[in-house]
């Protein structure tokens, strides 16, 4: 242990009692402050002007205060009364520190949102300042607490009925949360909700419940996967026929399917591709040309199943064309080449207008009026009634994309567990060592490019019919950057992490349109913060956690793995 860490721990032991008392006062203030008015006018957020009548957002602040209070009281009065074997099941001080940090960020967001929406800090009522002061007290007090070692609850064996019940509760809560988030129009409330969810998830992970959930659900992985898809299938039935919300949901799925393809290239093989959006565009243009649109220069309109395969094959051919001469290089040089390819693709699509080249894409105007899909007699452009609920146009595409994402996940998981996946990981870790051990480095890198491009082309074929039109300006470098950010933010090499990252990066711009001019700044700051505090991503594989925290012996003990180089790690996509 380093000397600064020893000094810090000694100070915490000396002032731990004072810190606990200060944090307790802050928690009590956080619980009581929601019953006070936080805003002068009812136009701010969800009307926080009442005395004694908390709004839904204020109840979220109350919940954070209550969670902090439970952590503090449990650490002081419950743990000493437990048998020695159970005292380390939960890490109460670590959880208190996490929830106090979340409460401080939450209260700061509320104060800033009220000031922006009402025109100044003077419109923040005394209750808002009291809540912010309570969060500051809680944050300062928890900094003095002595953090426990890693919680051991994950090693406790629980009955099957309890695990299945928890899985059902988590999935139901996720469904209700996503439905509520999509229905929320106020940007301040939406950001506060995201902060609350982040604080709650961090608390669950830090306190030890996250490790328990992960270890127990490993025994019931089919149940977990089935529950996740049932929740995703049930989502349109919670939207009351809202075409706008379902449009956002289908865009999220398109983005997620494409990001999973990029995850093969970047997350597994370690190849930095900055022009990946071109493969999505290739699939979209092929589907548009073969769609039967009046603006298409090709008169052939094959069945959609054939179109999907052609789109994927054409995109993978593009991957082979760009990969064959360029995969001899790596690192920054490969990134520059792929960036150039993405721009070349866009310019070529603009030039295929009949003047500078063959008339295939109508130049910068693209191909509009793409008809809706008609698959086995089912018209995706018409609303349908299912189980007594109206399913609008975008919900039809949502179900199709849900099946597509499921297939992509199956392909990714099986590739990752195969000999090919292990070869990709070996190339990412040390290309020279992998080649010396007999791994076909060039062939596997080329297969990663072609396979990822195929998945993006398939997603692009659905996107063309979903968007009704395809233009070259839809496939600019910025979209490639967002895809790469989704993979890095969520967790490279994982499935759930990329899905979470793609959902956040596609959902936030839709709900924060007032921030549109500064979204690049926001994403840049978000990535900088992530690289500083959690470089492995939001949901990282155990292997990558150990790669970024080689000196963390507690993490190695918690994950059940040795530090890098000391033993064999589990496959990256296992989570």
Pairing verdict, β 374-375 and 378-379: antiparallel
Question: Which residues face 470 on adjacent strands?
Answer: 367
Which pLDDT band holds residue 31 (cuts at 50, 70, 90)? very high
Query: Cα 179 to chain center, whole Å?
Result: 16
| 3-state class (DSSP) for residue 376 | coil
* pLDDT at residue 439 is higher than 80: yes
Which pLDDT band holds residue 139 (cuts at 50, 70, 90)? very high
Closest CA to 30 of 55, 2, 62, 52: 62
Domain ranges (residues) in the chain: 3-171+185-220, 242-370+391-506
Classify residue 438 as exposed, middle or buried by CB count within 10 Å of its CB (0-12, 13-18, 19+): exposed
Radius of gyration of the CA atoms of the chain, in A:
26
DSSP symbol at 403: H
Closest CA to 461 of 334, 282, 222, 269: 282
Which pLDDT band holds residue 29 (cuts at 50, 70, 90)? very high
Classify residue 264 as exposed, middle or buried by CB count within 10 Å of its CB (0-12, 13-18, 19+): buried
Angle between helices 419-429 and 393-417 (to 10 degrees): 80
Closest CA to 400 of 288, 250, 289: 250
Whether residue 231 contacts residue 175, with contact meaning beta carbons closer than 8 Å, is answered with: yes
* pLDDT at residue 11 is higher than 60: no
**Tens digits of residue pLDDT in 341-362:** 888 888 888 888 777 667 788 8
User: What's the mean pLDDT in 110-136?
Assistant: 89
Give me the CATH topology for the region 242-370+391-506.
Answer: ABC transporter involved in vitamin B12 uptake, BtuC (1.10.3470)
* pLDDT at residue 135 is higher than 90: yes
Q: What pLDDT sits at residue 573?
A: 43
Helix H or strand E segment including 386: strand 384-386
Closest CA to 287 of 271, 306, 268: 306
Question: What is the spatial distance between Cα 59 and Cα 33, in angstroms, rounded to a whole number?
Answer: 10
Q: What pLDDT sits at residue 129?
A: 92
Whether residue 248 contacts residue 507, with contact meaning beta carbons closer than 8 Å, is answered with: yes
What mean pLDDT value characterizes the chain? 81
Tokens found for residue 340 = 């150039």
Pairing verdict, β 374-375 and 384-386: unpaired
Whose structure tokens read 């452009």?
A: 381
Pairing verdict, β 374-375 and 389-391: unpaired
pTM comes to 0.80
* pLDDT at residue 448 is higher than 50: yes
Question: What is the spatial distance between Cα 257 and Cα 347, in angstroms, rounded to a whole number?
Answer: 25
**Tens digits of residue pLDDT in 56-110:** 889 999 999 999 999 899 888 888 888 877 778 888 888 889 899 999 999 999 9
Helix H or strand E segment including 555: helix 553-559
| 3-state class (DSSP) for residue 475 | coil
**Tens digits of residue pLDDT in 148-192:** 777 777 777 778 878 888 888 888 888 888 887 777 777 888 888
């Amino acid at each position: 242990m380093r000397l600064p860490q020893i000094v810090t721990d000694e100070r915490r032991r000396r002032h731990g009692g004072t810190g606990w008392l200060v944090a307790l006062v802050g928690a009590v203030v956080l619980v009581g402050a929601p019953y006070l008015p936080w805003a002068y006018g009812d136009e701010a957020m969800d009307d926080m002007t009442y005395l004694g009548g908390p709004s839904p957002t204020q109840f979220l602040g109350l919940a954070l205060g209550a969670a902090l209070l439970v952590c503090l009281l449990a650490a002081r009065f419950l743990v000493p009364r437990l048998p020695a074997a159970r005292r380390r099941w939960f890490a109460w001080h670590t959880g208190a520190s996490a929830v106090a940090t979340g409460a401080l960020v939450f209260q700061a967001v509320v104060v800033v949102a009220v000031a922006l929406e009402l025109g100044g800090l003077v419109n923040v009522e005394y209750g808002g300042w009291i809540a912010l002061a309570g969060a500051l007290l809680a944050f300062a007090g928890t900094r003095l607490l002595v953090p426990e070692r890693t919680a051991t609850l994950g090693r406790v064996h629980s009955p099957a009925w309890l695990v299945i019940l928890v899985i059902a509760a988590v999935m139901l809560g996720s469904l209700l949360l996503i439905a509520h988030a999509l229905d929320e129009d106020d940007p301040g409330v939406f950001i506060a909700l995201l902060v609350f969810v982040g604080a709650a998830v961090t608390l669950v992970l830090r306190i030890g419940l996250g490790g328990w959930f992960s270890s127990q659900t490993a025994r019931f992985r089919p149940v977990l996967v089935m529950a996740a898809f049932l929740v995703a299938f049930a989502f349109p039935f919670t939207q009351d026929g809202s075409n706008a919300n379902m449009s956002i949901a289908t865009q999220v799925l398109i983005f997620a399917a494409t990001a999973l393809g990029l995850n093969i290239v970047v997350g597994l093989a370690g190849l930095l591709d900055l022009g990946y959006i071109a493969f999505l565009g290739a699939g979209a243009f092929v589907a548009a040309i073969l769609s039967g649109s009046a603006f298409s220069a090709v008169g052939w309109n094959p069945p959609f199943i054939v179109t999907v395969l052609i789109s994927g094959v054409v995109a993978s051919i593009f991957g082979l064309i760009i990969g064959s001469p360029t995969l001899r290089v790596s690192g920054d040089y490969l990134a520059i080449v792929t960036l150039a390819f993405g721009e070349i693709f866009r310019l070529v699509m603009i030039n295929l207008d009949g003047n500078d080249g063959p008339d295939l894409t109508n130049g910068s105007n693209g191909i509009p009026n793409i008809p809706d899909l008609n698959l086995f007699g089912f018209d995706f452009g018409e609303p349908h009634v299912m189980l007594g609920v109206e399913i609008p146009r975008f919900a039809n595409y949502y179900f199709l994309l849900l099946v597509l994402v499921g297939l992509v996940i199956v392909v990714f998981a099986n590739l990752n567990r195969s000999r090919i996946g292990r070869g990709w990981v070996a190339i990412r870790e040390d290309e020279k060592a992998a080649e010396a051990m007999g791994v076909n480095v060039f062939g596997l890198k080329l297969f990663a490019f072609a396979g990822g491009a195929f998945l993006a082309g398939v997603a692009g074929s659905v996107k063309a019919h979903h968007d009704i039109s395809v233009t070259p300006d839809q496939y600019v470098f910025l979209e490639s950057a967002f895809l790469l950010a989704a993979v890095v933010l969520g967790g490279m090499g994982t499935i759930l992490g990329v899905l979470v990252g793609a959902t956040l990066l596609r959902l936030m711009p839709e709900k924060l349109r007032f921030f549109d001019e500064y979204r690049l700044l926001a994403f840049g700051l978000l990535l900088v913060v992530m690289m500083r505090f959690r470089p492995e991503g939001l949901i990282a594989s155990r292997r990558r956690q150990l790669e970024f925290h080689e000196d963390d012996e507690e993490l190695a003990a918690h994950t059940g793995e040795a530090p890098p180089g000391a033993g064999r790690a589990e496959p990256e996509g296992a989570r």
